[in-house]
Structure 1
Amino acid sequence: MRRPWSRELWRLTWLGGVGALLGWPLSSPALGLAIGLAVCLAYHLRQLRALHRWLTRNPQAEPPAANGLWGELFDRLYRYQKGQRHTQQRLRTTLRRIQESSEAMRDSVVMLDSHGDLEWWNSAAERMLGLQPAHDRGQHITNLIRDPRFVAYFNARDYREPLTLPSPIDERQVLQFQLTLYGDDERLLMARDITRLHRLEEMRRDFVANVSHELRTPLTVLAGYLETFGDLADTLPARLAKGVSQMQSQTTRMQNLVDDLLLLSRLEIDRGGHDHGPLDVAAVLESVRRDVQALAGERQTVEVVIDESRRLIGSESEVRSAISNLAFNAVRYAGDGCHIVLRWMPCGDGACVAVEDDGEGIDPVHIPRLTERFYRVDKGRSTATGGTGLGLAIVKHVLLRHDAHLEIDSHPGQGARFRCHFPSSRLRDEAAKAKPPATSVSAAAGRREDS
């Protein structure tokens, strides 16, 4: 570009010099210079007019013929426009393919702007959500999906977990909504039809609840007869007496398993909340400590530590069940000579119930799966301790019903810490009862139930 520009400067200088020389004989070199500059200005205005007409009338046509600086400028503009047209065509093709692929999806795809207004959606969204292109474009998404749970989910801006709701146009259809932030605070809403999975899950829960309920009666009858035979063990042959004792042990284990399955089914089906009220967590922990003492022997110590005065809003029976499961797991699996601490303490702006021990610990590879039903770190050892494999699954569901979550921190040989995090919305600044003294209690064998 420097060379045409240099030539243009030389042309301007030459026109000015020629004009001045022509005006010299007439004793008006300035007039000659002005005429030369005027000629140069007229040339540039003519080229500028050609540029304007080209850009406004037909920019895709060949550029006007010109030389020098203007010719270079026309060529560069033409090449730039041609590149832009290719880029736009490529983007249009890509966008069309994205739209075609979105149209082929069975899941709903809805694009929202930074205000939450609808910009574009595929045909699946029209079927699942009832969106109409003629009326709904530009509407706010919460004007069309008015369920309070979706409104709260949209405004919370925490989209790590999906939301399951009935379809706004058919309550028999169950949808899973997932929002994703992208671009300049824009959102992508995806909705999946999980009606079949939801029904299968309901069938599974009903099956487990019904089977567990039906097992109760025969197990109760069997346990009653075995208890009668156990009372007559002295009159039975030694081999038969041993068999009766083993049957009693396995029947008790089956009864515990049925009870846990029924409790887990109730936690999954019943939303709860009817029995929630202010709880004195210190009193609950002291009660759990006494239960642990009743289970324990002389090989462990248990301590209650209270560092938080606020009360917890929740169900006393459910919270007690969750803490008991964690504490009994620690008693069963922590190992001989370990120290167990039941702690109520502040955690950020909320509070935690922690069950800690200095026992054998857990390999971190197992931690993500500990709350799964029947998952065990050591299957043989866990069965020998009498655990059902449902303890931590029950803890997980109790915490979900209390807007809380479970954190597990453990390493082999370094003990384990199970923390139940409750948000500040679940706490009340009421005068707590007098703290029970930190007490050490003898406790029985074992380590933590793994699920």
Structure 2
Amino acid sequence: MRSWSRELWRLAWLATAGLLIGGIVSQAGLGLAAGLAVCLGYHLRQLRALYQWLTLHPQTEPPAASGMWGELFDRLYRYQKSQRLTQSRLRATLARIQESSEAMRDSVVMLDRHGDLEWWNSAANDMLGLQAAHDRGQHITNLLRDPRFVAYFNARDYREPLTLPAPLDERRILQYQITLYGDDERLVMARDITRLHRLEQMRRDFVANVSHELRTPLTVLAGYLETYLDLADHLPDRLARGLTRMQEQTLRMQNLVNDLLLLSRLEIDQGGNDHQPLDMPRLLEGVKRDALALSGDHHVIMVEVEEACSDRLVASEQEICSAVSNLAFNAVRYTAAGSHITLRWRRHPKGACLEVEDNGEGIDPVHIPRLTERFYRVDKGRSTATGGTGLGLAIVKHVLLRHDAQLEIESHPGRGALFRCVFPASRVSQ
């Protein structure tokens, strides 16, 4: 404000001086104009100095000036200095980020809001075959053309990573993870998981081979035990009880081997060859009969089909039947006699869903995230006693993954449990 007042006094003084001088020569108007012209010339001179400083020598000290112009020069200089310091810090931070990204073994690719390549680290050159001279500004799907990656990229659902062979070497297995940030920009990270993939493949092969090799001796053992038990009336009670116990455990081992073989097939076989529209009421009625047989008619099992839902599920009948049967059998095993179990087929906002609901003891929510893990048991003692293998929900999970579906579990102690298989609209036909 002081500088502004000083400039007003300067203007007033020059105007007054011009009037006085003009009055002496009887040209007051001309004198006033001359005083204002001098003031204007001073400001134009300072404005020219400002322009030259900003355009020609912005890094040097500002021109010397007094009053309002001097304060303006000082403020601009301090602002420029702070901006240079900020830019220097940002450049240093960006350089450190780029250096750290270059040091990573994983590929890092930055895309703009249109999906075009902006920047990537050196690992992406070797892993994805990107070349800075040709590929910058290209759309990511022009370079990574695998239909599965294109579908994953366009779906914009990046909660789960995508595993694919590397574009340059199919023997290498890459895991892609995309993250949205900023103004709809995307960060693509690719990790080489070839070693983990091979270990997982070895594990699957080992389980499948061992399970297959166990099937024959178990079948022979079960056959001889059944023959011996036919003669149980002629054997001592102690020996007969031992044979009965052996038969129970042999049957349990056979069920375990069968479930392991089924899991291995679900993991290895791509499937899809036997998919067809399924008659869901008929399928659920069949599962109901099997569940009642397991229960010994000690449970109340119902089938509910929503009246408005005449849709058919396009899927493998064998696999869907296996998944629903596992859910229904679990409900029979882990609920008390007299409990109600409902098998339900209805519409869902995402498409349609299969539900298995019971009014049993329920499950503590702490256990729900791990229920689909192999051999995970909420109550190990009770699970063993009921004859479960611990693989039922793992089978359900893999069947649903093969049908683009999701498993939702709702349960609380004392409130029963609800297992919901949600299928997308693409899997439902009228």
Which category of TM-score, normalised to the shorter sequence, fits these structures? over 0.9
Between the aligned partners of 1:250 and 1:157, the Cα distance in structure 2 is 49
- Provide Cα deviations, 1:186-214, integer angstroms capped at 9, x if missing partner: 11110000000000111010000000000
1:320 corresponds to which letter in structure 2?
C
**Residue 367 of structure 1, CA deviation:** 0.5
Inter-partner Cα distance in structure 1 for 2:216 and 2:130 = 52
C-alpha distance in 1 between matches for 2:2 and 2:282: 91
Q: Report the secondary structure of 2:24's partner residue.
A: coil
**Highest relative contact order (Cα 8 Å, sep 6+), 1 or 2?**
1
- Asked if 1:38 corresponds to 2:37, the answer is yes
Q: Deviations over 1:30-86 (max 9, x none)?
A: 111110000011111111111111111110001000000000000000000000000
Matched residue of 1:171: which SS? coil
* Whole-angstrom distance in 1 between the partners of 2:188 and 2:296: 56
Instruction: Give TM-score, length-normalised by structure 1.
Output: 0.94
Q: Cα distance, 1:299 vs. partner?
A: 2.8
Structure 2 residue matching 1:110: 3-state secondary structure: strand
Which residue identity lines up with residue 340 of structure 2 in the other structure?
H
Equivalent positions of 1:286-297 (< 5 A) are 286-297=285-296
Give 4+ residue runs of structure 1 displaced > 2 Å after superposition: none
Shift of 1:239: 1.4
Shift of residue 349, structure 1, vs aligned partner: 4.2
Contact in 1 for aligned 2:350/2:422 (Cα 8 Å): no
Find the counterpart in structure 2 of residue 445 from structure 1: none
For residues 59-98 of structure 1, the aligned pairs below 5 Å read 59-98=58-97
1:139 equivalent to 2:164? Answer no
SS at match of 1:111: strand
Note the alpha carbon deviations across 1:107-128, whole angstroms, 9 max, x for none: 0011111111111111111110
Q: Which residue of 2 aligns with 1:359?
A: 360
Question: Which residue of 2 is the match for residue 315 of structure 1?
Answer: 316
Alignment of 1:24-423 (within 5 A): 24-307=23-306, 308-423=309-424
Letter aligned with residue 201 of structure 1: E
What per-residue deviation string (whole Å, max 9, x for no partner) do you get for residues 282-326 of structure 1? 000001111112112243201111102111100000000000000
Distance 1:349 1:94 in 2: 44
- TM superposition score normalised by structure 2: 0.98
1:88-117 per-residue CA deviation (whole Å, 9 max, x = no partner) reads 000000000000000110100111111111
RMSD of the alignment, in Å? Answer: 0.8
- Asked whether the 8 Å contact 2:280–2:345 carries over to 1, the reply is yes
Deviates more, 1:414-423 or 1:290-299: 290-299
Task: State how far apart, in whole Å, the 2-side matches of 1:348 and 1:158 are.
Answer: 17
CA distance in 2, matches of 1:159, 1:16: 73
Percent identity, aligned pairs only, is: 76
Amino acid at match of 1:351: A
- Aligned match of 1:428: 429
Alpha-carbon distance between aligned partners in 2 of 1:153 and 1:4, rounded to the nearest angstrom: 64
SS of the residue 1:272 aligns to: coil
Whole-angstrom distance in 1 between the partners of 2:227 and 2:157: 58
Whether contact under 8 Å (2:405, 2:424) holds in the other structure is: yes
In 2, Cα distance between equivalents of 1:408 and 1:141: 37
Give the partner amino acid of 1:110. V
Is the partner of 1:99 in helix, strand or coil?
helix
Amino acid at match of 2:256: L
Amino acid at match of 2:319: E
Deviation at 1:248, TM superposition (A): 0.3
Segments of 5+ residues of structure 1 without an aligned counterpart are 430-451
Corresponding position of 1:447: none
d(CA) in 2 for partners of 1:39, 1:91: 46
Give, as a single letter, the amino acid of the residue that structure 2 aligns with 1:391. Answer: G
Instruction: Provide the secondary structure at the position in 1 that maps to 2:114.
Output: coil
CA distance in structure 2 between the aligned counterparts of 1:52 and 1:393, rounded to whole angstroms: 74
Corresponding residue for residue 449 of structure 1:
none
Q: How far is the alpha carbon of 1:342 from its aligned partner?
A: 0.6
Question: Following the alignment from structure 2 to structure 1, what is the Cα–Cα distance between the partners of residues 152 and 132?
Answer: 25
Q: Structure 2 stretches of 5 or more lacking a match?
A: none
Deviation at 1:336, TM superposition (A): 2.3
- Decide whether the 8 Å contact of 2:292 with 2:299 is kept in 1: no
What is the CA deviation profile of residues 112-165 of structure 1, one whole-angstrom value per residue up to 9, with x for unaligned ones? 111111111111111101111111111111111000111111111111111111
Inter-partner Cα distance in structure 2 for 1:262 and 1:269: 11
Secondary structure of the structure 2 residue equivalent to 1:365: coil
